[in-house]
Structure formats: structure tokens, C-alpha cells
Amino acid sequence: MPASSPSAPAALAAKSAQPAPAVTAGPAALAATSAPAVLVARGLAKSVATAAGQRRQLFSGVDLDVAAGDVVAITGESGVGKSTLLNILAGLDQPDAGHVAISGQPLAGLDEAATTALRCRAIGFVFQAFHVLPHLDLARNVALPLVLAGVAQAPALAAAQAMLAQLGLAGRGSDHPAVLSGGELQRVAIARALVHRPALVLADEPTGNLDPDTARRILDLLLASAADAGSAVLIVTHSDAVAQAAGRALRLAASGLAPDPRPRSLAA
Ligand SMILES: Nc1ncnc2c1ncn2[C@@H]1O[C@H](COP(=O)(O)OP(=O)(O)OP(=O)(O)O)[C@@H](O)[C@H]1O
Ligand SMILES: [Mg+2]
């Protein structure tokens, strides 16, 4: 669905940002563990422009804490604003109200360059529409976050090849995105999001284009890689199987996030 997605180069451009004091957690926050919060969101609200020139409210009152090692699923009806929320959490879109902090750094205090730098260092983003760069081969696509962070080309490409192999794309590093299936592109997008071991992984329907067996395998890899890196993970999904694999499942509605009350089965 059409979220206000930015270009991948803008989303992945590099440098580093200075940490600042943490945002104080409020009582309404949907926190689960006592580990340090990697992502803190308070009171987020967002509206979008309509064709008639008015504003349509998507959601308000979104509070969220995700700590290192947490895996949180966000469900919700199509069009409720899940992709828009992920973009706000990554500093790729602006909320109408509320604030976000990543690893203690409030995004509101950063200019565009510093936001980009923080995002590049601390976040791995699996876009719903992949945003794999068509003019780069797969290894260079996956290596991009490392190269932008200053890692030399050779070790960055070696790490990218290893990540591709972990996701079932061994030996495919010199292929170009145009020859890949939708599921293969999705795995490239996941490899690129994980290769720099980010503090926070934001994944928008990361298994949406995969058959159930591959989806399960890729989800396991995503979760294992994130656990290995100690990442906090937030996954937007329509899949009950993915939501069940997460430590917490939250449902996004116009009034904010609430624990997902739906009974879940193992069926995807
Ligand atoms: N930049 C924008 N301008 C106007 N409307 C927008 C913009 N970005 C998103 N929208 C609208 O906001 C709503 C929420 O979009 P979003 O992509 O966040 O939904 P979603 O919950 O991720 O849906 P899906 O589950 O189908 O991916 C949609 O109706 C979409 O058309
Ligand atoms: Mg979406």
C-alpha cells in the first residue's frame, strides 16, 4: 500500500550521531522487559492529506517501548497506518504530535543529516516495497550499509556475501535485482537490513512475498540474526504465524497500539 516511503539511498546514507539523554518512559508505554529501551515512542499521531485537500487522521496516542532483544509484532487492518508508523519511527516521516527516541537520542533534536546518520548506524529497515537498488548487484546492495558506515569495500562485500548465503542466496552476489523473484528480492532486503548488526530492526511485512515454508525459514533467520546482534526487532505483519513468533503482538488502530487480543493459530 502507498506509504510515504523515502528513497533507499536517502534512507541508507551514512555517518554517526551523538547520543543524548534518554526520553523518560511514561506509564502508558507498552513495555515488556527491563532491558535498555532501544526504541521509545510517546503520543505519536499522524494524519495524511486527502485528494479533497483535507486531513485524514490515521492514528493518535501511539506509545511504544522496544528493548534490546525484544521482538514485537504490529498487526492491524490494511491502511490503518502501519507502514507510516514504521517510517515515523525511523525518522523517515514526521508525526503531527509525539516524539521518538532511538538508543536514547530524541529524533526531534536532530537535523536531517544527523537523522540520516543515526538511522544508518542504528537501524536496519526492511521496506514493504524492498527498495533494492536496481543498478547495483546483490552483494553491493547488501554491503551498502557497511560501505556507508566506512567499512572498506572488500570486507563489506565479504560480509554481504555471507549474509546472502545465510538467506539462501549463496553465489548470487553478482546477480542484478532485475532477474530476481519477489521472494528473492525480499531476502536481499532482509540481508541488507541485518548486515551492519543494527540496534533496531524495523521490518515491514518481511515475509509477505514468501511461501509459508520459506517464510518460516526466513523469519527464523531474521530473528536469529537479530538475536545474535542483540537487536530490538519490530515487525509489521498480517501473518498470525509471524505475530505468534514474536514475544509481543500489538494491534494498531486509530486510538493507538494495544495488545493484540485475537486468538492466534499457527496457520500463516
Ligand atoms: N504521503 C501520503 N499522502 C497521502 N496519503 C497517504 C500517504 N502515505 C500514506 N497514505 C495513506 O495512509 C493510509 C495508511 O497507509 P499505510 O501504507 O501506512 O497503511 P498500512 O497499514 O501499512 O497498510 P498495508 O497493511 O496495506 O500495508 C493509506 O490510506 C494510505 O493511502
Ligand atoms: Mg504497509
Note the pLDDT tens digit of each residue in 186-222: 899 999 999 999 999 999 999 887 888 888 888 888 8
Cα–Cα nearest to 125, from 138, 144, 153: 144
Residue list, ligand 1 pocket, CB within 6 Å: 1-4, 48-49, 58, 76, 78-84, 128
- Closest-CA residue, ligand 1 atom 1, reads 4
Residue 28 — pLDDT band, cuts 50, 70, 90? very low
- Closest-CA residue, ligand 1 atom 10, reads 3
Indicate whether 12 belongs to any domain.
no
| Nearest ligand (C-alpha, residue 252) | 1
Indicate whether 16 belongs to any domain.
no
Indicate whether 218 belongs to any domain.
yes
CATH code of the domain covering residue 45: 3.40.50.300
Indicate whether 10 belongs to any domain.
no
Angle at 242 between CA 36 and CA 171, to 5 degrees: 95
Indicate whether 84 belongs to any domain.
yes
Range of the domain at 38: 30-49+56-259
Indicate whether 6 belongs to any domain.
no
Q: What is the pLDDT of residues 256-267, one digit of tens each?
A: 999 987 645 543
Q: What is the position in ligand 1's atom list of the atom closest to the CA of 86?
A: 18
The domain total for the chain is 1
Indicate whether 189 belongs to any domain.
yes
Residues 139 and 191: beta-carbon distance below 8 Å: no
User: What is the CA(75)–ligand 2 centre distance, in A?
Assistant: 10
Indicate whether 264 belongs to any domain.
no
